[in-house]
Amino acid sequence: MKDHKIVFTGTPGAGKTTAIAALSDVPPVTTDVRNSDPGLAKEHTTVGLDFGQVDLGDGQMVRLFGTPGQMRFEFMWRILAKDALGLVVLIDNSRPDPLADLTTYLDAYKDVLPSMNAVIGVGRTLECPLPTLDDFTDLLNARNLVLPVLAVDVRQRDDVLMLVDVVLAQAETRTRACSHQMSTVLIWCEQALETNLASTIAQTSLATSSSWPTR
């Protein structure tokens, strides 16, 4: 059984807790408390983490971790991202500036994103079609990042599963590319070794023959 860790992060109210609850096979662990921030229109908010797990049925178990969304919990973002296979960034398109929201998370994870499997899930795109998915892609491209951007409804299990599948597919592609590179390096090493060995043997033979005592 392969065991993966995928982290859901993103803006408050984007649906990280909902997404994990929608996909998890077990009742999720939640750390929601009553929200006292009048600027955030929701009754409860996550302050620690969410945790769930899903058996994908093909020998792969995925542990799902959700971060708190607010910037003051940024320390949890980094703690939870440690040793993660991938990152799902959820953006709520009904917020005032979804592109700035994405920028916040790209900045926060800038050290790990170039080497991490990641996908951007944009919610509430039907009610709020702007910015478009292309606008998000342009923002990523401007930062030299090539990441999939998908419209999602995190209440739908299939949509959340799609995000997880995208991360797993990226991971598989990276592994294949890495193993292809490793094969190439191994072949090169073998060739170099053979050449070097032949050359070393030739040199040793010469040295040995020349150092043999002559009668």
Partner 1 sequence: MADVDGARAALVATPDGFDLARAGEQTVDAGRLAAMVSSLSALGDAASRETQIGQPRCLVIDSSDGRLVVRSMQFRGEPLIVVLLTDTAALLGMVLNALNAADRQLSNA
Q: Pick the binder of partner 1 from 73, 77, 105, 136 (CB under 8 A).
A: 73
Our CB check for partner 1 shows the closer of 74 and 134 to be 74
**Residue 18's CB: how many other CB atoms inside 10 A?**
21
CB of 26 to partner 1, least distance (A): 11
CB of 95 to partner 1, least distance (A): 19
* Helical packing angle, 16-23 and 157-211, nearest 10°: 80
Report in angstroms the alpha-carbon separations of 212 from 5, 199, 200, 203, 209: 64, 20, 18, 14, 5
Q: Are 36 and 12 in contact (CB under 8 A)?
A: no
CB of 72 to partner 1, least distance (A): 4
Q: Pick the binder of partner 1 from 13, 15, 52, 68 (CB under 8 A).
A: 68
DSSP bridge pairs for 92: 123
Instruction: Considering only the stretches 24-32, 121-129, 158-166, 196-204, report the one whose residues sit in contact with partner 1 under the rule CB under 8 A.
Output: 24-32
CB of 203 to partner 1, least distance (A): 58
User: Residue 47 and residue 166: Cα distance in Å, rounded?
Assistant: 27
Is 65 a binding residue for partner 1 by CB under 8 A? The answer is no
Residue 23: closest CA among 173, 171, 168: 168
End-to-end Cα, the chain, rounded Å? 70
Our CB check for partner 1 shows the closer of 72 and 215 to be 72
- x/- map, 36-55, partner 1, by CB under 8 A: xx-------x-xxx------
Is 76 a binding residue for partner 1 by CB under 8 A? The answer is yes
Which residue do the tokens 């940024």 mark?
74
CB of 49 to partner 1, least distance (A): 7
Residues that bind partner 1 (CB under 8 A): 29-37, 45, 47-49, 68, 70, 72-73, 75-76
